[in-house]
Amino acid sequence: MVVTYKCFSCEKKIKEEYVKKKIRCVYCGSRILYKPRSITTKVKAI
Ligand SMILES: [Zn+2]
């Protein structure tokens, strides 16, 4: 299973292999990354 991070600035998905060496977004250079929740629960709207 591939763990992907998400950039806080540009919201692009980044593979874990890219942030192993340097924790940095490969697209915009931001160092704020987070793990998005893989499972999103849908709430039934009335
Ligand atoms: Zn970014």
**pLDDT tens digits, the chain, 46 residues: what are they?**
778 899 999 999 999 888 887 889 999 999 999 988 765 567 777 7
Residue 40 included in any domain: no
Residue 20 included in any domain: yes
Parent domain of 29: 4-34
Where do the H-state alpha helices sit in the chain?
A: 16-19
Residue 13 included in any domain: yes
Residue 41 included in any domain: no
Is the torsion defined by CA of 14, 10, 39, 23 positive or negative?
positive
Residue 14 included in any domain: yes
How far apart are the CA of 46 and the centre of ligand 1, in A?
Answer: 36
* Overall number of domains in the chain: 1
How far apart are the CA of 2 and the centre of ligand 1, in A?
Answer: 19
How far apart are the CA of 34 and the centre of ligand 1, in A?
Answer: 11
Residue 43 included in any domain: no
Res 30: pLDDT: 94
How far apart are the CA of 8 and the centre of ligand 1, in A?
Answer: 7
Residue 12 included in any domain: yes
Cα distance between residue 6 and residue 16, in whole Å: 10
